[in-house]
Amino acid sequence: MEQLARVAPGQHLYLPEELHVTVLAIISGSEFWRKEMRPLAASRAILNEVLQRSPAFKVHFRGVTASPGAVLVQGFPANDALKKMRDELRVAFGRNGLGGQLDRRYKINSAHMTVMRFGRPDTDWQRLAAWLAENRETDFGEVEVSCIQLVWGDWCASADVVRTLQEYGLRDQAP
């Protein structure tokens, strides 16, 4: 993060406590979010039903990439537990009439962490591109995900805005 701040000053850098991997966007960031909060109790029940059966999983973070709006650290799940969890959640939300609110912006299927969002056009883009190339295969380590949080927040997961609504423990991995 310190390197990115030097390479592309003035861009929005995530704080360490804001770094996260999105499992599924239950309520998309839109002007209609207040209306979509109504089925929150049903959503919590669906999450509890699916996540109590879901195993913990590991994600290895290696390499960086960029989208038109951000710099991302690439995440690689160790197995298909995250994919199965997302698929089961989508089926359960659909079965309960709430599937239409999922994947509205885009279908989440990766395990990336956004570390920077672009907000200023006056960045030295060549310098940033060189940094991205240098860190294309950098090993950032592995984490074990043993709980999932249902959070309410903003587009950038700002630490002063995000609120944890509920935490769901995942099953221990099989030996």
In sequence order, which residues have a C-beta less than 8 Å from that of residue 128 and are 6 or more positions away? 7, 8, 66, 71
90-144: per-residue pLDDT in tens?
999 889 887 766 655 566 889 999 999 999 888 899 999 999 999 999 999 999 9
Across 151-162, average pLDDT: 81
Structural domains of the chain ordered from first start: 2-166 (3.90.1140.10)
The number of CA neighbours under 13 Å toward the Cβ of 149 is 12
**pTM score, whole prediction:** 0.86
- The confidence band for 175, taking pLDDT boundaries of 50, 70 and 90, is very low
List of residues 6+ apart from 74 with CB closer than 8 A: 61, 62, 63, 64, 65, 110, 112
